[in-house]
Structure 1
């Protein structure tokens, strides 16, 4: 999964509200709600769709806040990068 490098979420310009609110840490419940959408997320992002739109759409479908979807994707990428760097299998 390390081939899916996602850009960081855009920081708001001075005076603008943040694009995604930070609703806290990922919970097991959130992971469970979002994990089945991972193939869809990766396919859409790889196809060039805007990450912010993807996380908002998936958040709506999964019943979680969009920032939780973004955090989940970042955690999956980080876990994949760590395993690849250590020579472990991603399966």
Structure 2
């Protein structure tokens, strides 16, 4: 999974709206809601699709916020890179 490097979520610059609002830390229930979508997420990333659009699409299906999808994917990448 080291092939999928994503930048960390950044705070918005003054005067700009953030791409994703921060809805807090991931919980076990949020992870369970998103984890079944991981193959779809990785396939779409590998195909070069926009990560923001992927996160928004998956969030709609999983019943979570887009930033939670982004945090989950970043956690998976971090875990994969350290393994």
Residue segments in structure 2 that go unaligned for 5+ positions in a row: none
Where does residue 32 of structure 1 map in the other structure? 32
Larger Rg: 1
**Cα deviation 1:46-68 (Å, max 9, x = unaligned):** 11111000000000000000000
May I ask how many residue pairs the two structures share in their alignment? 83
Q: How far apart are residue 4 of structure 1 and its match?
A: 1.5
Shift >6 Å, 4+ stretches: none
If the length of structure 2 is used for normalisation, what is the TM-score?
0.91
Specify which structure has the bigger relative contact order, considering alpha-carbon pairs within 8 angstroms and separated by 6 or more residues. Answer: 2
Q: Does 1:56 align with 2:49?
A: no
Gaps of 5+ in 1: 84-91
Q: Is the 8 A contact 1:5 1:77 kept in 2?
A: yes
